[in-house]
Amino acid sequence: MRIFIDTNILLDLMLRREPFYAKAQLIYQLGVWGDVELFVSDLTIVNCMCIAMRQKVALDNIYDFMQEMRKHIFISGIGEEVIDKAINAKSKDFEDIVQYYSAQNCNADYVVTRNKNDFPNDIIPVIEPEDMVGMFYEIN
């Protein structure tokens, strides 16, 4: 199963944002164990790096996280085709439509995000972290 992770989920993991960190960690663990293939867009990496730096996270911590994360998460490129599709979609949230088309490029089975409403749901199901976690873990 291929899971595309939206920027907010990787930020939850990277910055240990509560109350979202635990579910982001469980999703990441699925990739570590090899239960799923995890993907993010190259835009997600850039955005996470910039946000972490703006929040004054120590550079060593940022780069250590990214190096470790890259062992278990694949990068889905954006490129001209994705950008053109996003422009033609005329979405109210350009970044999220770019993410969605990047997920299509890597043949994702699901997009996991905390802001489902900004994504189309026509080709790839868009689900919240709770739903992804519930597919693999018993939640009490």
pLDDT tens, residue order, the chain (140 aa) = 999 999 999 999 999 999 999 999 999 999 999 999 999 999 999 999 999 999 999 999 999 999 999 999 999 999 999 999 999 999 999 999 999 999 999 999 999 999 998 898 789 999 999 999 999 987 65
State residue 117's pLDDT score: 87
Domains and CATH numbers, the chain: 2-131 (3.40.50.1010)
Q: Assign 3-class secondary structure to the chain.
A: CEEEECHHHHHHHHHCCCCCHHHHHHHHHHHHHCCCEEEEEHHHHHHHHHHHHHCCCCHHHHHHHHHHHCCCEEEECCHHHHHHHHHHHCCCCHHHHHHHHHHHHCCCCEEECCCHHHCCCCCCCEECHHHHHHHHCCCC
What predicted TM-score, i.e. pTM, was given to this entire model?
Answer: 0.93
State residue 137's pLDDT score: 81
